Chains A and B, each alone.
Chain A
Amino acid sequence: MMKELFPKEHVVGFVGSLILTLAALSVITFDMSKGIAMTILSVTALAQAVVQLVLFMHIGETEDKKTLYTSVIYAVVVGLVTVFGSLLTMIWGY
C-alpha cells in the first residue's frame, strides 16, 4: 500500500535534477577549459531535459503517438530556431 502511495518517480526526478544542477554549477566553481565547460553544460542540460520529460511529464505513457511526435518536433524546431537564431543575430551575423 505505502509503496503505491509513495511518489517514487517524483522524488527520483527531484533529487536527480538537483544533482544535475549542481554538476552544471561546477563549471563556474572550478577552473576548467572552455571546451570541458561547454561539454559539461550541454550534457547536463540534455540529461535535465530527459529527467523532466520522463519523470515529471510522463512522456511515453501516452497511446497517442501522433500527437506526441508532432509536439516533440514542434518543440525541437522552435527550440533550435530560438537558440541558433539568437546566435545568428547576436554573434555570427553581428
Chain B
Amino acid sequence: MSMEELFEPMKEPMIMGAAVSIVVGAITIVAGLTYFKKWGYFYKNWLTTVDHKKIGVMYIIVALVMLFRGGIDALLMRAQTAVPENNLLNAQHYNEIFTTHGLVMILFMAMPFIIGLMNVVVPLQIGARDVAFPRLNALSFWLFAAGAGLLNVSFIIGGSPDAGWTAYFPLAGIEFSPNVGNNYYAWALQLSGLGTLMTGINFITTIMKMRAPGLKLMKMPMFTWSALITNVIITFAFPVLTVALALMTLDRQFGTKFFAMSDGGMDMLWANLFWVWGHPEVYIVILPAFGIFSEVISTFSRKNLFGYKSMVMSMIVISLLSFMVWAHHFYTMGHGVMVNSIFSVSTMLIAVPTGVKIFNWLLTMRHGKIQFTTPMLYALAFIPIFTIGGVTGVMLAMASADYQYHNTMFLVAHFHYVLIPGTVFGVLAGYHFWWPKIFGFRLNEKLGKAAFWCIAIGFNVAFFPLFILGLDGYARRMFTYSASTGYGTLNMISFLGALGMAVGFALICYNIYYSFRHSPRDENGDPWDARSLEWATHSPVPEYNFAVVPEVNQLDEYWYAKKEGRDITAGEYERIHMPNNSGAPMWMAGVLFLFSFFFVFSVWTAVIVFGIATLGFMAFRSFEKDHGHYIEVAEIEATERQLRGDK
C-alpha cells in the first residue's frame, strides 16, 4: 500500500478536520502537562495506577470522549438524512459513519462506562480494598484503551470499517471489502474484547471472594448483584467473539474460507457466531444499568428495594435466556419454521423476568417518599420509555411479523428505545449518583436536570418518528432517499430531536466545569443519605477504601446503622496491605496496539517483533517479585484525620 493510499481518507475535508482536531487536542494535553510540570504526577498517579477507583475514572473519561465521537457520528447521520437527496455525506462516508457509530457506542462507550462504574463502586459496596487482581485490572483498561485507539486511528490511516457494526459476511470479506477497514474492526474488537474478558474473571473473583465479613451473597446491594451476573455473561460470551474475530482475521488476511460462500465455507456462520456473542452483549450493557436503577430508586424513594429475591432470580434467568435467543437477529436468513419458532418463544420469554423487574421498581416507589434528584429523574424516565422499547421488542420477536420489520428503521427505533433509556440513562444516573463519592462534591442539580430534560425530550423526538418511518418501509443504512417517498418531514423532526440531545450532552460537560468551580464540598461522604456500604467511607475515597473493614449483617446495613446511630466503620486500625503500581500494563497494551496496527497492514516483520515483545512482558511478569506494600497505622491515622477535616 502506498503512502498516498494510506492517507486516502484524509482527502475528505471533514475527516481532515477531525484529524486536525485530534492532533491539536493531543498537543494541548502534552503542552499542558509539560507546562505545569505534571508528567511525573500523571505517570505515577494515573498511568501506572492499579487502584480500582482511578481505573474506573479513566474508563469513564474514555467513555465520555467516545460518547462524543459516536454522538458526532449520529448527528452527521441525522443531518445527512434530514432532507431528501442531501449531499452532506457521500455513500461511502455514510457507511463508515453508521459502522463506527455502532461500534463506538456499544463497545467503546457503553461497555467502558459500565465497567468504569463497576470498578469504582463494586469493591466499595462489598467492603473490599481493591479488586482481586489489581494488576490485571489495569491491563484490562489499557487493552480496552488500545482497542479504542485503534478504531479511532482507522478513519485517518487506511480507512474505517464500513460493513456495519455487525460486519456480516460476505460483505465484510476480503472480496467485497478489500480495504483495511475490516482488519481494523477485527483487531480493535479483539484487543478490547480480551480486556473485557479479563475484567469478567476479575470481578467474579472479587465478588465471590472478597466480600466484607458477614456479607452473604443474598445481602449484597443490587448493583453488585447485577455486576456479578454481568461478569458471568461476559466470561461466557466473549470467548465466542474472540474466536469469531480470529476466524475473520484468518479469512481476510490468510485466505481461509470459514465464512466464504465457496469451498465449504458458510457466510452466515459469521452472523451466527457474532450474535451468539452479540445477544448476551446486549444484556451485558443493560443488566448493570438495571442494578444502578435499583440503587437509585431505592435510595430516593427512601425504601428498601421491593422483591429483592425476585430481582436476583430474574437476573439469573435473564443471564441464561440471553444465551438462547441469538437467532432472532436473523429470522429472515432463510432457516425453517421450526428454528424461527423456537427462537421466537425464547425471545418472548425474556419479557417475563424483565417485566418482574419493572413491577419491582414501581412497587419500590409505591408509598415511597420520592425525591426528584437528577439520578432519580433518569430512573423515572427509564421505566416508561424502556417499556416502549420492550414492547416493540416483543413485536419484533414474532418471526413472521419480523419479515416486515427486518432492517427497517422500526428496528433501529426499537433498539435505541431499549439502549438509550436502559444503558445511557442508567450510566448517566450512576454517573450523577456516584460522582460525589469519587470527587467529593455534587454535580449541580439545576444543570443536571436541564440536561436530563434536553436528553429525554430530544430522545423521544429523535427516535419516535423512526418507528413510523420504519413501518412506512424506510430501510436502515440508506444514505439518502428521494423527495417523492415522503420521508422528509419525519426525518427532519428526528434531526431536531438529535440536536436537542446534543444540547443535553453539552450541558453535562459544562456541568463538570461549573460544579468544579461552584459546588460546595461534601463533608460526611453521604450526600444523598443513601443505603449501601460505599457511602460509609469518606469522599473522595482514600486509597485503602475503608480504614476498618465494616461487618455487615443485613441488606442496607449502613442505612440501618445510621438509623440506630451505630458507626460501622469504627474500630482499631491495623496496617493495610496494598498492591504496588506498575507501568507494565500500559506499556504492554502499547506494544499490543503496535502489534495489531501492523497486523492490520500485514507488515509481518513488525508483527513478529511486537509479538515477541508481548511474550517478553508476560515472561517478565512470571518472574517478577512483587509483594505489594503496607500502609502503616500512623499514615492511616493521618489520612483519616485529614479526610474528617480535623485539625
Contact = CB atoms under 8 A, between A and B. Distances in A.
Interface in A16-32: none
A93 B335 contact: yes
Interface of B: 208, 232, 236, 240, 266, 268-269, 272-273, 276, 320, 323-324, 326-327, 334-336, 338-339, 342-343
Contacts of B320: 74, 77-78
Nearest to A64: B208
A33 interface: no
A43 interface: no
A82 B240 contact: yes
B335 A82 contact: no
B338 A93 contact: yes
Nearest to B340: A93
B236 A90 contact: no
A75 B342 CA distance: 22
Interface of B is mostly: helix
A42 interface: no
Interface string A30-48: 0000000000000000000
Contacts of A89: 272, 327, 335, 339, 343
Contact of A86 (B208, B276, B338, B343): B276
A82 B323 contact: yes
B39 to A, nearest CB: 38
Interface in A79-94: 81-82, 85-86, 88-90, 93-94
Given A89-B335, A90-B272, 9 more contacts: A78-B236, A81-B324, A82-B323, A85-B324, A85-B327, A86-B269, A88-B342, A89-B327, A94-B334
23 contacts: A67-B208, A74-B232, A75-B236, A78-B236, A78-B320, A78-B323, A82-B240, A82-B323, A85-B276, A86-B272, A86-B273, A89-B327, A89-B335, A89-B339, A89-B343, A90-B268, A90-B272, A90-B335, A93-B336, A93-B339, A94-B334, A94-B335, A94-B336
Contacts of B339: 88-89, 93-94
B331 to A, nearest CB: 10
Nearest to B322: A78
B345 to A, nearest CB: 13
A90 B208 CA distance: 37
A86 B240 CA distance: 12
A91 to B, nearest CB: 9
Contacts of A67: 208
Contacts of B335: 89-90, 93-94
Contacts of B269: 86, 90
A93 B336 CA distance: 5
Contacts of A77: 320
